[in-house]
Structure 1
Amino acid sequence: MSKVSRRRFLFGGVAAMGALVVGWGVLPARQRLHGSVSLPLTGGALALNGWVAVAPDGAVTIAMPRSEMGQGVHTALPMLVAEEMDVPLASVRLVQAPLDAIFGNIAMLQDGLPFHPDDDGALKAGARWIVGKVARELGISITGGSSSVKDAWLPMREAGAAARAMLVAAAAGQWRADAADCRTEDGHVLHRDGRKLAYGALAAAAVTSQPGEVRLKTPQQFKLIGRAQPRRDTPSKVDGSAVFGIDVRVPGMVYAAVRMAPVIGGAVATVDTSVALKMPGVLRVVDFSRALGHLAGAGAGVAVVARSWWQARQAALALVITWRDGANAGLSSEQVFDHFAATLDKEDGHAYHQVGDMDSVEGKGAGVARAIGAEYRAPYLAHAAMEPINCTAQVNVRDGKVHLWAPTQSPGFAVKAAAQAAGVAPAAVTLEVTMLGGGFGRRLDVDMVAQAVAIARAMEGVPVQTIWSREDDMGHDVYRPAALARFAATLDAAGHVLGYDCKSASGSVSHQFFKRNLGLPAAGPDKTTAEGAFDMPYELPNQRIRHVIVESAVPLGYWRSVGHSHNAFFKESFIDELAHAAGRDEVAFRRALLAHHPRHLAVLDAAVARAGAAPAGRAHGVALHQSFGTIVAQVAQVSVAGTEIRVHRVVCAIDCGLAVNPNIIAQQAESGVVFGLSAALFGAVTIKDGKVEQSNFHDYPVARLNQAPEVETIIMPSAAHPEGMGEPAVPPIAPAVANAVFKLTGKRLRSLPLSLSS
């Protein structure tokens, strides 16, 4: 079976299973312990498997397959190996993992399957097995989907445990002893009679040793996992030694600033460079549009290369450019939502989840005492990461080599884009992944990489750092989709929900993303459009959740928590509407719908109990949502003064399975709340005349320090497989705040950002 057909299966849905040949399907899944590419090691370190090496001084080197963008993977993932190897976390060194199939992110791709969390059958199990098998073959190295710890949980622990077993076997061989009489502690193998050897002294022998059975530790044996550990990346960020993409400095490096088409999908018609080329420090003007290929929709344009970025920026502003606006010149946000509404009027969409018989409880059916309808909407959102978009590239035309320094979430896609832009094979591209000053999904895309390489290619071997201004970034993002959702529900005379129907419309992130980055045709359903809507835990006897994909001229990308970010607002706000219509307390109403979901119920109860009673003049709003395998309940304490909505305190209860590092979980909860609150209160990207109207933080504000609430995090005890934590605290905050505002004002806010001014 070809890779192309596997990819079409993987991203096109379970329906394409027939494309897999039987002979391939019955083969065992590819192992993830030994890679085909050697680790980049120094100091005499010797690799014991594809993930782990040991140096003569006892230092342990671990391959880091994920990008550090503030979520703590440079701490959490080494903890998995250090735990199984019995070495101090401080002795662990990290090297960037090479592009090898063993480092591919399997969990993220498996989680993309459109199954309800309560589904527990052969179809789901078979689909996950097949996708996992395909994912191992593809080996896509990617950081996203709150999947880093979830995916690494077994392979990195197995790598550590296998290395430990090899070191024990080496020691036992030297001592002519039984391995069962040996144990490990603090980077040493110890014999029961008191003999002791350091890992460094055993590394050479361990490479060829034959260990016995490799056993993973049980949770009861953990010494590191489950205990708070300080962030390993904090000291370098405090003293300034951490290297982000924008910090890269290469001898002889010059800088590029860009001008991109202001209208979405626009192009360059003519460029007058006469003034710019005479300005101080200017070296060259480059039209990079053609090199971008299918990435061009993210911002075709022109770059100025100069000795400093300020010189390049000033010269870029001096360019006289005539733009070809194209088909989107008249596009507006109003048109987008009108199109959504018209589409929902005439199309049924794809049904992601159906339970019971909705036809019998719609309208004025038997037993129906009340029918409730509502329409919700959410705008486009930008990522607005603090580190501006940037990439440094060097293209040596003579030997056909490309060197990249990039803050990317998708190293494999970055290499592919660089190779295409430079006209070389991927093997000719060397990539160094720096730290990311915020990702949030924006750096999953690689338009900036292709752009930087196209500019550097024109400079014929001179390294070029391309940096976007904030205005460039805001106007040429790949945006969180705008969405429109319609709800219809029926209640009986006792206030019980008989029927629950949701139909929504938006563009498809996945269709666009995989077309941009893999060249795949857009086809089939996209789970991200309906996630958070179809996969809710509430036990409603009759329910139907559908979505209609509407072709989007606006470039769309993965935004922190993706579809959950708006669908949680829609769903949890409407559930509150139903509780109010039924004359029930919103917490009691939810509890009654969770009889067979004890974990959800426990999380909800924990948050409500910790929140206590709201102080005078304030109200509590509640939201419960599961995303990326993690259950989160939030209680927001809110006040309203005139039209100002103020959030004072948020209690956030979390069940994310086994908590690898409680410190990082709490940090991600706090980060998610503030990130989500910024979008809930302020975030909106609007389109007028085909252009993004927002340009910087003055018209796309984020929560300031004085607007950030106190966040209290409750981590529920669990021994279950770890789930995602980078995103799940984002979705519940908007509905929690909106539900509190309703209590205070009687106004049901059904559009984001939340506003009392209209």
Structure 2
Amino acid sequence: MLNHLDHPDMPRALQHMLARSQPNAHAATMPRRSFLKLAGVSGLALGAFPHLALAQGASADSALKPTQQPSAFVQIAPNGEVTVTINRLEFGQGVQTALPMILAEELDADWSLVRSRHGSSDPAYVDPMWGIHLTGGSNSIKHSFTQYRELGARARAMLLSAAATRWHVDVATLRTQSGTVIGPGGLKLGYGELAEAAMALPVPEKVVLKDPKDFRLIGQPTNRLDAKAKSSGRQDFGIDTHLPGQLTAVVAHPPVFGARIASLDDSAARAIKGVKAVLRVPLDRGAEGVAVVADGYWPAKLGRDALKVQWDSAKLEKVDSEKQLAQYRELAKQPGPRQFDADMAPLATAPKRIDAEFIFPYLAHAPMEPLNCTVQLSEGKADLWIGTQFPGVDGAAAARVLGLKPEQVSMHVQMAGGGFGRRAVGSSDYVVEACEIAKAARGAGLNVPVRMVWSREDDIKGGYYRPMHLHRARIGFDARGRVLAWDHVLVGQSITAGTPFEGGMVKNGIDATAVEGMRDPYALPMRLTVHHPKVNVPVLWWRSVGSTHTAFVMETLIDEIARATKQDPVAYRLALFGDKHPRHRAALQLAVDKSGYGKKRLPAGRAWGVAVHESFESVVAYVVEASAKKGTPVLHRVTAGVHCNLVVNPRTVEAQVQGAALMGLSMCLPGAAITLKDGEVQQSNFGDFAVPRITDMPEVAVHTVPSADPPTGMGEPGLPPLAPAFANAIAKLTGKPVRQLPFNLA
């Protein structure tokens, strides 16, 4: 078994993730919609029954694992339509297209006939490198690139063998092209005509993959398979699940995290037409809530509004953001564990100094589709419909709540409308909540599916935020910009402390997710002290995790040193890279060349800003144009240089960088903060938790460095360098460094 804790190329944000919490393997189940689709197709199809992969994988004469069996991933219908099952959640990052592209490349499929569907919590659909069900850490393409190539190649080999048998010819005389096997003398058979016979053949363990120079799909700009449905409003998401007899539940959550019910008057709620039950249910972190179950969302919401609840929060910490900042500042003065420990003596005699403090607030994930989960209970069985990044973990959590074995829980993975990490929670908080409601509803005589839906306000107030952080830096350097000593302190909650992942992620009292991105790629003499206070606010990874704050600190301070020593910020970075970071150099130089930096004259009132950062093994450099009008920062143009090795779908990379840049911009704009007063979150919707509007969107041009090396991740790396590049442009305009997110130019 793969030892996750020792795996060197695991992204730092999610390495060691759930290594000790893998769900038990269990028999595969087919989502209902997939079964109905197959039932309507006459004849057998390659991969029509995913459970065959498990049977083959367990057989004595096969060394292949379930993750290597084509029957779990490829369905070829008699009409030649190829349906590829993806082992990840599609929630905007484009894997529903990129993974089928990889498999179809080696299968030699007709791309116009390729379709895609989600997998489940079956063993076949685990991450092949980590051995767990996971969408995260920008690993979908990186970890499954070879896997999906081999799956396609195995399926192709089986089709060729079936054709050779039918024609009584040597398989070496055959070739494939666009979903067709072509033989001598003009013989031709479509994949659909061969699928039944191919399915009966042994699965080859060894296959020869294409030479990359022969790729016809990989590397080509390709429209997404889900684009038409999403752009026309016909795409169903988890929240759109509708089952016969289904009821909808909403929950009154306590205003302070962990609070319980002191008293409840639910008479008015029960009197509302459509309300079927009002149930007290246990919630995350020892809290208690009230679920209102009704025949639709609106009556459930009205019932919740009519509740009269008194909450008991007497023994809980009531966080206040202003007081919390003061506490963090005091903590930053104290000794603590160190990540790096260089000699700080040169600080005393350094000819130049920078003393800086950075403040980063809590951030909500705020995906467009709020959290939801539909649960159907039957005798000795449970079915869950959910857009989840953790189908195995969430399935195991559901089993614990419902008193079932993991194999008795079927996870029907649905398309999700965003997540940014919020659908990957070790505690499975909202899944557990949905199961508690379904169990209580069944106990109340409601033997029907229950769909739990969070409102936008629930989502923004519901916790698991990107932690608040304070950074302090004291830097000594000389007139040439040579850093002599860098004394740095970081204060912020640990994401993994108190979770099952603490043993693998927290070393010497330091959470690896908090310090990723510090110092690298610059060879600097740094002393890094880290404090992880315990606060009554649940925290979680947020797209690009620790790099959301470490990249800002590093790249704005590097820029400040360049300005203080009158050096061009690009030239200064290139000098610091030396010859040790060719990917950083290539990405930055590409962004510079494509932007016209240093050559093009900017309009009056605009300035260039530069930043480069590596996260999840991909490097993104930004050169931006920005202005500050009447104290308001404006981002006009962004040019990206990206090094993610081989690009599977250029349109996916472009879209991910554009989306990540926009999300990075969201950290900069006024109102982009979660704050607390007396333990309660003060924001509730997009009116007071700001997100960029279409008028805020800059022009974004994305350019990739050509490479034939295996692909690295792109779901997150586009976010970290945007805010520091923007801030560096504003600092050049105003003469004042930006050291707070969101920007405060007062």
Q: 2 CA distance for matches of 1:342 and 1:468?
A: 37
The answer to whether 1:551 aligns with 2:534 is yes
Q: TM-score, normalised by structure 1?
A: 0.86
User: Structure 1 residue 38: deviation in Å?
Assistant: 7.0
Partner Cα distance (2:238, 2:196) in 1: 36
Alpha carbons 2:476, 2:485 under 8 Å: kept: yes
| Contact preservation (8 Å) 1:639, 1:744 | yes
Report the Cα distance in structure 1 between the residues aligned to 2:405 and 2:29, rounded to whole angstroms: 20
Match of 2:552 among 569, 572, 590: 569
Cα pair distance change 1:431/1:209, threshold 3 Å:
closer
Match of 2:66 in 1: none
Q: AA paired with 2:133?
A: S
> Does 1:433 find its partner at 2:455?
no
Matched, 1:361 2:366: no
Equivalent pair of 1:306/1:312 in contact (CA under 8 Å): yes
CA–CA separation in structure 2 for the residues paired with 1:702 and 1:567: 21
Instruction: Measure the CA separation in 2 of the matches of 1:369 and 1:281.
Output: 74
| Residues 160-209 of structure 1, C-alpha deviations (whole Å, 9 max, x = no match) | 11111222222223333333222111112222543222222322332344
Is 1:224 aligned to 2:221, yes or no?
A: no
> Out of 638, 651, 656, which is 2:644 matched to?
656
Out of 473, 485, 490, the residue aligned to residue 487 of structure 1 is: 473
State how many pairs are aligned. Answer: 690
Gap regions ≥5 residues in structure 1: 20-33, 107-131
Deviations 1:476-513 (A, max 9, x none): 12100111112222212433222334331211223355
Structure 1 residue 410: Cα displacement? 1.3
Within 2, Cα distance between the matches of 1:728 and 1:215?
32
Query: 1:46 is matched with which residue?
Result: 46
1:261 and 1:90 mapped to 2: Cα distance? 51
User: Which letter maps to 2:573?
Assistant: R
Counterpart for residue 470 of structure 1: 456
Amino acid at match of 2:139: S
Stretches of structure 2 that go unaligned for 5 or more consecutive residues are 17-24, 48-69
In 1, Cα distance between equivalents of 2:84 and 2:26: 13
Whether 1:725 and 2:714 are equivalent positions in the alignment is yes
Q: Pick closer, same or farther for the CA change 1:492–1:238 going to 2, 3 Å.
A: closer
Distance change >3 Å, CA 308–CA 206, structure 1 → 2: closer
Aligned positions of 1:333-412 closer than 5 A: 333-351=321-339, 353=340, 358-359=343-344, 361-364=346-349, 368-396=350-378, 399-412=379-392
> What SS does the aligned partner of 1:554 have?
coil
Secondary structure at 1:574 match in 2 = helix
Deviations along 1:249-304, whole A, 9 cap, x unmatched?
11111211211010122122221112211122211111111xx4xx335x631111
In structure 1, distance between residues paired with 2:504 and 2:385: 24
The one of 511, 514, 521 aligned to 1:529: 514
Q: For residue 667 of structure 2, give the secondary structure of its aligned residue in structure 1.
A: helix
Q: d(CA) in 2 for partners of 1:212 and 1:610?
A: 45
Cα pair distance change 1:459/1:9, threshold 3 Å: farther
Give, in whole Å, the separation in 2 of the partners of 1:55 and 1:609: 48
Is the Cα–Cα contact under 8 Å of residues 512 and 522 in structure 1 kept in the other structure? no
Instruction: Name the aligned partner's letter for residue 236 of structure 1.
Output: A
Corresponding position of 2:21: none
CA contact (8 A) 1:514 1:520 kept: no
Name the SS of the counterpart of 1:487 in structure 2. strand
Over the matched positions of the two proteins, sequence identity in percent amounts to 41
C-alpha distance in 2 between matches for 1:522 and 1:551: 17
Q: 1:582 aligned to 2:562?
A: no
Is residue 148 of structure 1 aligned with residue 140 of structure 2? yes
**Alpha-carbon distance in structure 1 between the residues aligned to 2:295 and 2:508:** 46
Mean alpha-carbon deviation: is it higher for 151-160 or for 45-54?
45-54
Structure 2 Cα separation of the partners of residues 371 and 200 of structure 1: 71
- Alignment partner for residue 594 of structure 1, among 577, 591, 595? 577
Over 3 Å counting, the alpha-carbon distance change for 1:530 and 1:702 in structure 2 is same
Q: Residues of 1 paired with 2:294 and 2:205: CA distance?
A: 60
SS at match of 1:511: coil
TM-score, normalization by structure 2: 0.87
Q: Partner residue of 2:175?
A: 183
1:748 corresponds in structure 2 to 737
Match of 2:429 in 1: 447
State whether residues 398 and 409 of structure 2, in contact with CA within 8 Å, keep that contact through their aligned partners in structure 1: yes
Residues 573-652 of structure 1 correspond to what in structure 2 (within 5 A)? 573-596=556-579, 597-612=581-596, 613=600, 614-652=602-640
1:204 aligned to 2:188?
Answer: no
Among candidates 319, 323, 332, match of residue 320 of structure 2: 332
In the alignment, residue 453 of structure 2 is paired with which amino acid?
Answer: I
Q: Deviations over 1:697-733 (max 9, x none)?
A: 1111111111111111112211111111111111111
How far off is 1:80 after superposition?
0.6
Structure 2 residue 221 is matched with structure 1 residue 237: no
Question: Which stretch shows the higher mean deviation, 613-622 or 219-228?
Answer: 613-622
Q: CA separation of 1:170/1:525 partners in 2, compared to 1, >3 Å: closer, same or farther?
A: farther
Match of 1:284 among 277, 286, 292: 277
Which of 599-608 and 95-104 deviates more? 95-104
Identify the range of structure 1 (51-60 vs 657-666) with the bigger mean alpha-carbon deviation. 51-60
| Correspondence 1:248 to 2:241 | yes
1:23 match: none
Residues 388, 754 of structure 1: alpha-carbon distance in 2 compared, 3 angstrom cutoff: same
User: What SS is found at the alignment partner of 2:181?
Assistant: strand
| Other structure's SS at 1:562 match | coil
| More divergent stretch after superposition (380-389 vs 594-603) | 594-603
Q: After TM superposition, give the deviation of residue 383 of structure 1 in Å.
A: 0.7
Q: What CA distance in whole angstroms lies between the structure 2 residues aligned with 1:549 and 1:593?
A: 31
1:400-436 C-alpha deviation (Å, 9 max, x unpaired): 3222111211111221222222222222222212111
Cα distance in 1 between the residues matched to 2:607 and 2:726: 9
Measure the CA separation in 1 of the matches of 2:189 and 2:509: 58
Corresponding position: 1:78 with 2:100: yes
Aligned with residue 539 of structure 1, among 523, 529, 534: 523
Preserved CA contact (<8 Å) 2:250 2:454: yes
The aligned amino acid for 1:195 is: L
Contact 2:370 2:454 in 1 (8 A): yes
What is the distance in 2 between the residues matched to 1:678 and 1:85? 41
Deviations 1:22-57 (A, max 9, x none): xxxxxxxxxxxx997476662322334432233333
Between the aligned partners of 1:443 and 1:380, the Cα distance in structure 2 is 18
**Alignment CA distance shift 1:362-1:582 (3 Å):** same
Computed over aligned residues only, the root mean square deviation of the Cα atoms, in angstroms, reads 2.8
1:111-147 deviations in Å (ceiling 9; x for gaps): xxxxxxxxxxxxxxxxxxxxx5xx33xxx11111111
Q: CA deviation at 1:330?
A: 3.2
Counterpart Cα distance in 2 of 1:177 and 1:502? 71
8 Å CA contact 2:328, 2:470 repeated in 1: yes
Check conservation: 1:266, 1:325, Cα contact below 8 A. yes
Give the match's secondary structure for 1:283.
strand
Corresponding residue SS for 1:443: coil
Distance in 2 (CA, whole Å) between partners of 1:511 and 1:182 is 58
Partner of 1:29: none
Q: Which residue of 306, 327, 338 corresponds with 2:294? A: 306
Look up the match of 1:121. Answer: none
Residue identity matched to 2:81: A
Where do 1:33-182 residues align within 5 Å?
Answer: 37=28, 42=38, 43=41, 44-47=44-47, 48-105=70-127, 132=129, 135-136=130-131, 140-182=132-174
CA contact 2:86–2:119 (8 Å) conserved in 1: yes
Describe the superposition over 1:494-550 as per-residue Cα deviations: whole angstroms up to 9, x where unpaired: 33222334331211223355469x99999964321111214x21233x334443333
- Within the candidate set 271, 275, 292, 2:268 is matched to 275
Q: CA deviation at 1:359?
A: 4.1
Correspondence for 2:397: 417
Q: Alignment partner for residue 482 of structure 2, among 481, 496, 500?
A: 496
Report the Cα distance in structure 2 between the residues aligned to 1:100 and 1:519, rounded to whole angstroms: 25
1:701 aligns with 2:690: yes
